[in-house]
Amino acid sequence: MLRIFRRRFSSFCDYTIRTHTCDELTAKNIDEKVSIMGWLAFKRMDRFLVVRDSYGTIQAKLPQKLSSLVKDLPYESVIRIDGKVVDRGDKNRNLNMKTGEIEIEVEELEILNRSSKDIPFLPDEKSTKSHEKTRLKYRYIDLRSAKMQRSLRIRSEFVHNLRKFLVDQKKFVDVETPTLFRRTPGGAAEFVVPAPQPNLGQAYSLPQSPQQFKQLLMVGGIDRYFQIARCYRDEGSKGDRQPEFTQVDIEMSFTTQNGIMQLIEQMIVSSWPSSLSHLKPKLPFPRVKYSEVMENYGSDKPDFRIPWKIEKDEQNIFDILKTKNSTENWNARFIVCKNASEKVSNSLKKEWKRLIEMNENGRNFAICQKNHTLKSINLSEIPNFDVENDTLIVSWGESEGVNWTLGYLRNYVAELNGLRQKSEVQAHWVIDFPLFSRENGQMVSTHHPFTAPISEHQELLNDETRLEDITGQHYDLVINGVEMGGGSIRIHNSDIQKHVLQLLNEPMEEMNHLLEALSFGAPPHGGFALGLDRFVALLTSEGDPTTPVRDVIAFPKTKNGRDLMSDSPTTLDAKQIERYGIQLKS
Amino acid sequence: MLRIFRRRFSSFCDYTIRTHTCDELTAKNIDEKVSIMGWLAFKRMDRFLVVRDSYGTIQAKLPQKLSSLVKDLPYESVIRIDGKVVDRGDKNRNLNMKTGEIEIEVEELEILNRSSKDIPFLPDEKSTKSHEKTRLKYRYIDLRSAKMQRSLRIRSEFVHNLRKFLVDQKKFVDVETPTLFRRTPGGAAEFVVPAPQPNLGQAYSLPQSPQQFKQLLMVGGIDRYFQIARCYRDEGSKGDRQPEFTQVDIEMSFTTQNGIMQLIEQMIVSSWPSSLSHLKPKLPFPRVKYSEVMENYGSDKPDFRIPWKIEKDEQNIFDILKTKNSTENWNARFIVCKNASEKVSNSLKKEWKRLIEMNENGRNFAICQKNHTLKSINLSEIPNFDVENDTLIVSWGESEGVNWTLGYLRNYVAELNGLRQKSEVQAHWVIDFPLFSRENGQMVSTHHPFTAPISEHQELLNDETRLEDITGQHYDLVINGVEMGGGSIRIHNSDIQKHVLQLLNEPMEEMNHLLEALSFGAPPHGGFALGLDRFVALLTSEGDPTTPVRDVIAFPKTKNGRDLMSDSPTTLDAKQIERYGIQLKS
């Protein structure tokens, strides 16, 4: 190897035996001797090579005597080329390429690792949906693509900026908390980890979040805590979720709801990746009440980029849809989707109906467009509805389900009309959630049992008839229709926490350690958790909430929880069965 | 609350409702109105309070009318005091206290959370060994102690510095890798995680390190990777180890053994905590060969702060210890422990004998001090041995065991004489390890099967008789007698990797994905992993290698793998048993 030119040109080359990365040579370097390493991305006439590394591409020109070396060399082989930077000449310049003014006149070529010619695909090959499984199985090839390189690097940059904001500017302490923990109440969705001797017959649980530990850290005087925490959630193949995921976990003592919300929005804006600054939202993020978003958008996480709102049927135009079984809770509401002229096909309507009917809140609905109106209803009476250019969604039936149904349809129609793919980021806080909700007659926490009520409502905890009137100190961060994170001021008083757990019928013995901790000098505290995977997916897609999180995870699992690359999970072997005293039924 | 003075004085108070932390008020602040929050650490005559937070303490003086509020208030209750900063007056100044010139004249006092008077201990109470379990059970109280606050904050600082070095200066990319993975060959020591539907009957494994993933990231073109990675190791209650631990995981493409060692030593020195700069080792770290340290110190991780070396018995003084069964491999060696005059009691000798005999390498030994010499041997013949002031360790018997035995005794005698508690940090690289070793007749990897041989020895892989002569490209970082981390240049050629796995009788089907990955364009690469818990324990103890890692972990487990705070692990409940189709035998 030509070690004479081991001068370093950028810190990307520190500690390596290359002199430059493939993106950094320009006309300024003409006549320099360089050593480049990378993947063979393209070749022409066995004389012209394009070499690619993680940063870019460069062209190399082989002398005749070396061309036999590359004659049968498969693409994606790893090579080293040493040589001199030369001008390509006026005719051959490629101004679309950063290094397009020059090429390397190769003096030495070494094949560092020959690739198999049976490579299943090339990194930047246009992929079709049918290749998704292949790309996951050979994820390491897909990672070489410009798209995956960009995603992982933006993720790394965002997380690093975030740490610098929290530690350098705001004096937070990064504390690691255990992942081998104890099951939490309602913990059916927590993976278990059988313990070996001397705890044979028992198991740890992998926690869904460091919630208890972050509160215990506040009790322990780490008054400004954060952690980029690995969390685990066993929800089978529900939606676009991974069995393990990452959250930015934050907790602070002696703070308020307002304090945490300010911290989080400043953190997000300060850490915004430099290449995406055109999408950075303005501060402060608007705050809207839960009751308001439910009333106007039929969702607690509306996409505020969609300009349409739910309207009441003030003129009783839809009363004709009432049946004799309708109660006084019957109502009809509608949304005028201005300029939503994309036609909703019958098959799409059927699909939406199916999705909406899966939920107990699903109600009857109709979608009215040019040539598709609702029988016996005079649509021209609808204020501000232009049958030529707009779409009208109407839903009717009992109580809140009508708004819920409209909330979903609003998203569907917006997506069909391209509004959700718009390159724009809108962040809002949703606040003033009810502390409790009723599910199948049982009182449950709207979020989790550690959320404090607003101080004005604390007394209501003692009035069983008023529980549903209590507002909690919870706040959700909603971006482009996705709940990116949530947090709350916590209960710091042991007696109140115990009372709330009792109201909720939670098994007290599982939570004794927390109740005890609150009794030994717990400061008032609150916090937040940001879903990192989802947030970065939104960033890298420039705001598209439908981008799957696997696009920003190096080695994701499928919806079925499988790692196609290593073919995991697998059956247990004899040693494992013996060590953990474990039997699995399939 | 007196919200009039919500001015912020330091970023430690951003987003909180305090104006100052308990350490930052001095004579400069006299006459200012402030609001302080913290724990009641001390009170006198119900008029003078000491309030503590994570940063320091401050004295407050109550007016008569408020003293009833604190009369029965237990220590460690959380309070807010609003008031004016006043001079303590010449007589009452406490110059040992950062805030000792002033006190707060309290105008308003609020009890934010009353502590139970049954608190099991106070944070900075001098603790005895018998309290260890109590302190782990109520870890959140122990975390308030100055010692734990310092440890966790130094840990956070070191990790943050390290990230800034790697990302900002050296352009590394922080990539998260999965922890729900597939068992690796020899994976009996990996915890298993049973999978739910649709993978019922199968299990993931929690990896001991991201070794495979980091190599796959290199194949994927992330050519400068790092991660502060949570790892899992099921070794029961072996030594000072935790079932989950953290390593600084690093991998780089197109590098050399020298490149990685330079990176790591510069990273460590650049990230050194500011309060410990007097301990920072000089660059470069000395490099010593495995054969050399085994010869001189009888250990592959010698504590270089101990000045004593193993000497050969050139004068055959100890030949008298030979028996008729001795083979030609018999030898005797000794260490003159200069100025080690601390007496080795007979009970200690017995204990050392017991520990040494537990290992198959243990050999006969004797410890000679004033009045304790070795029968029929003239110790005055030992060069440089002063029987008045030194200790002589001698060991004899078959082959390498003699050096191994002396290596252990060297540490024991040094510890007894206070040499291992010395506040000093000495870092060395140990290099040129053999690639393979023989264990019970079977060839095993000295480190792991992914380590590359040095290029001059690559051909020897094809000569079964020469395998033990192969030097691997492995390097260990040894600090104060502890292996802090290790790394290697990896095998990047699929055929060579396959050949090595075959030599080692590893089950090939478990490693197919890696072999395949190496065949599709893997760049030459290498890396390193630093044991973070152990390293931070050494830092916070100012170099004492015997400090337990649980001192730098917020919520550690006991040697038996139990979390005493939450009483985990626990038995499975019915829901868990059903969901995972799992049965555990105890």
- Which tens digits make up the pLDDT trace of A414-473? 999 999 999 999 999 999 999 999 887 888 999 999 999 999 999 999 999 999 999 999
pLDDT at A462: 95
- Read off the CATH number of the domain in which B107 is found: 2.40.50.140
- In this complex, do A221 and B54 lie within 8 Å of one another by their Cβ atoms? yes
Q: Which of residues 392-411 of B touch A (CB under 8 A)?
A: none
- In this complex, do B222 and A152 lie within 8 Å of one another by their Cβ atoms? yes
Domain boundary among A416, A440, A459: A416
Domain boundary among B416, B450, B477: B416
* DSSP H helix total and E strand total for chain A: 13, 22
Residue A38 lies in a domain: yes
Is the Cβ of B508 closer than 8 Å to some Cβ of chain A? no
- Sign of the CA dihedral running A472, B34, B148, B268: positive
Which residues in chain B have Cβ-Cβ distances shorter than 8 Å to A572? 192, 202-203
**Are residues B237 and B276 located together in one domain of the fold?**
yes
Number of Cα atoms under 13 Å in the Cβ half of residue B465:
0
**Are residues B269 and B393 located together in one domain of the fold?**
no
Residue B295 lies in a domain: no
Kindly give the pairing relationship between strand B203-205 and strand B224-232.
unpaired
pLDDT at A238: 67
Residue B562 lies in a domain: no
The position carrying tokens 């109590």 is: B134
Number of domains in chain B: 3
Token code pair at residue A574: 């004899």
- Which tens digits make up the pLDDT trace of A467-504? 999 999 999 999 999 999 999 999 999 999 999 999 99
Position A320, amino acid: I
Quickly count: other Cβ atoms within 10 Å of residue B88's Cβ. 16
The lowest-confidence range among A24-28, A324-328, A542-546, B335-339 is: A324-328
Token code pair at residue B166: 């790697």
- In this complex, do B112 and A492 lie within 8 Å of one another by their Cβ atoms? yes
pLDDT greater than 90 at residue A335: yes
**Are residues A165 and A230 located together in one domain of the fold?**
yes
- In this complex, do A194 and B192 lie within 8 Å of one another by their Cβ atoms? yes
**Are residues B529 and B482 located together in one domain of the fold?**
yes
- In this complex, do B196 and A254 lie within 8 Å of one another by their Cβ atoms? no
**Are residues A71 and A174 located together in one domain of the fold?**
no
Residue A388 lies in a domain: yes
Return the exposure string of B282-319: e unless at least 16 CB atoms fall within 10 Å of the residue's CB, then b: eeebeebebeebbebbbbbbbbbbbebebbebeeebbe
SS3 B425: coil
pLDDT at B163: 98
pLDDT at A6: 39
pLDDT greater than 80 at residue A129: no
**Are residues B319 and B339 located together in one domain of the fold?**
yes
Residue B475 lies in a domain: yes
- Which tens digits make up the pLDDT trace of A239-284? 788 999 999 999 999 999 999 999 999 999 999 999 999 999 999 9
- In this complex, do B554 and A222 lie within 8 Å of one another by their Cβ atoms? yes
pLDDT at A2: 36
Residue A128 lies in a domain: no
Nearest CA in chain B to A38: B523
pLDDT at A377: 82
Kindly give the pairing relationship between strand B173-174 and strand B33-44.
unpaired
- Which tens digits make up the pLDDT trace of A44-87? 999 999 999 999 999 999 999 999 999 999 999 999 999 999 99
Instruction: Confirm if B488 and B526 have CB atoms less than 8 A apart.
Output: yes
Nearest-CA distance from B354 to chain A in Å? Answer: 24
Is the Cβ of A162 closer than 8 Å to some Cβ of chain B? no
Q: Which residue of B169, B184, B566 is the best one to mutate when testing the A interface, meaning the one whose CB has the most A CBs within 10 A?
A: B566
Percentage above 70 pLDDT, chain A: 97
**Are residues B239 and B271 located together in one domain of the fold?**
yes
**Are residues B68 and B190 located together in one domain of the fold?**
no
Percentage above 90 pLDDT, chain A: 82
Give me the average pLDDT of each 10-residue run along chain B (586 residues). 44 94 95 97 95 96 96 97 95 90 97 96 75 93 96 98 97 98 79 94 96 98 98 81 96 98 98 96 98 97 97 92 88 96 93 93 92 77 91 91 96 95 96 92 91 97 95 98 97 97 90 96 98 97 94 96 95 90 86
Nearest CA in chain A to B196: A236
Token code pair at residue B453: 């041989």
Segment A198-209 shows an average pLDDT of 94
Residue A296 lies in a domain: no
Is the Cβ of A570 closer than 8 Å to some Cβ of chain B? yes
Domain range enclosing B508:
147-289+427-552
Q: Which residue of A254, A256, A494, A562 is the best one to mutate when testing the B interface, meaning the one whose CB has the most B CBs within 10 A?
A: A254
Is the Cβ of A234 closer than 8 Å to some Cβ of chain B? yes
Q: How many residues does chain A have?
A: 586
Q: Smallest Cβ distance to B177: which of A168, A203, A555?
A: A555
**Are residues A155 and A279 located together in one domain of the fold?**
yes
Residue B128 lies in a domain: no
CA–CA distance, A451 with A489 (Å, rounded to integer):
6
**Are residues B463 and B337 located together in one domain of the fold?**
no
Is the Cβ of A213 closer than 8 Å to some Cβ of chain B? yes
Average pLDDT of chain A, as a whole number: 93
- In this complex, do B156 and A178 lie within 8 Å of one another by their Cβ atoms? no
**Are residues B334 and B219 located together in one domain of the fold?**
no
pLDDT greater than 50 at residue A357: yes
Among the listed residues B319, B439, B367, B575, the one whose alpha carbon sits nearest the alpha carbon of residue A189? B575
**Are residues B441 and B410 located together in one domain of the fold?**
no
ipTM > 0.90?
yes
Residue A6: beta bridge partners? Answer: none
- Which tens digits make up the pLDDT trace of A511-559? 999 999 999 999 999 999 999 999 999 999 999 999 999 999 999 999 9
CA–CA distance, A279 with A211 (Å, rounded to integer):
31
Is the Cβ of B274 closer than 8 Å to some Cβ of chain A? no
Which residues in chain A have Cβ-Cβ distances shorter than 8 Å to B181? 563, 566, 568
- In this complex, do A160 and B174 lie within 8 Å of one another by their Cβ atoms? yes
- Read off the CATH number of the domain in which A411 is found: 3.30.1360.30
- In this complex, do A194 and B199 lie within 8 Å of one another by their Cβ atoms? no
DSSP string spanning A215-234? HHHHHTT--EEEEEEEEE--
The position carrying tokens 């961060």 is: A477
Nearest CA in chain A to B235: A196
Q: Which residue of B53, B555, B559, B577 is the best one to mutate when testing the A interface, meaning the one whose CB has the most A CBs within 10 A?
A: B555
Q: Smallest Cβ distance to A569: which of B202, B576, B579?
A: B202
pLDDT at A1: 35
